[in-house]
Chains A and B, each alone.
Chain A
Amino acid sequence: DVKVTQSSRYLVKRTGEKVFLECVQDMDHENMFWYRQDPGLGLRLIYFSYDVKMKEKGDIPEGYSVSREKKERFSLILESASTNQTSMYLCASSLTGGRPQHFGDGTRLSIL
């Protein structure tokens, strides 16, 4: 089975801090994704990556950056955390071509 592991289930940070969310997958998937999930808004794509060192903006990239130095690891960075970034963050990975995305357990991030 595919395993997508997010480094933290719950995280509390302060406004203005730089925040790192880590995601690791163990199935050699090319594609990796970061979403945020908010009540009533569903899942919104922040960034995704098709390969090492490649990144593409999703629908809501403002205030975020990403890093993919190794194929199995995809990091989401909040450069200067703000309260409106309090949310559930979900990482996913997939193979290309009609394959489902596999999700991690999520990180519930609170910015105070």
Chain B
Amino acid sequence: ELKVEQNPLFLSMQEGKNYTIYCNYSTTSDRLYWYRQDPGKSLESLFVLLSNGAVKQEGRLMASLDTKARLSTLHITAAVHDLSATYFCAVDLLNTGNQFYFGTGTSLTVIP
């Protein structure tokens, strides 16, 4: 059974600080996705990583993928309050079409 683990599950950080969220998965895949969910809202796609070494950046967020280590990271630079949300990673197995396996999410709170 594929397992996708995120850590930390909860993260409270001060504005201006940097931090990294980790996503480990248990089987071979070279397709990984990051999503953001605001309270009471649906999931919004942030990044699509489709190969080993892929790096994507948008504003203060940068995502990377190491398929050999089965690890993706979401790095937050100089956090601001607007980044407070829950972040999910999801893995797409190559032989199951577009079926995703989601991590349990990281709830991020940025404190002014």
Contacts and interface: CB of A to CB of B under 8 A. Distances in A.
Interface string A69-81: 0000000000000
B31 interface: yes
Interface size class of A (residues with CB under 8 A): 20 to 34
29 contacts: A31-B97, A31-B98, A33-B100, A40-B104, A42-B88, A42-B102, A42-B103, A43-B43, A43-B88, A43-B102, A45-B100, A48-B99, A50-B97, A56-B99, A90-B42, A90-B43, A92-B43, A95-B98, A96-B97, A96-B98, A98-B31, A100-B33, A100-B45, A101-B45, A101-B90, A101-B100, A102-B45, A104-B42, A105-B41
Interface string A81-112: 00000000010101111111111111000000
B50 interface: yes
B81 to A, nearest CB: 23
Interface of B: 31, 33, 41-45, 48, 50, 88, 90, 92, 97-100, 102-105
Given A98-B31, A98-B92, A103 B42 contact: yes
B42 A41 contact: no
Interface of A: 31, 33, 40-43, 45, 48, 50, 56, 58, 90, 92, 94-106
A48 B93 CA distance: 15
A25 to B, nearest CB: 13
B103 to A, nearest CB: 6
Contacts of B43: 43, 90, 92, 103
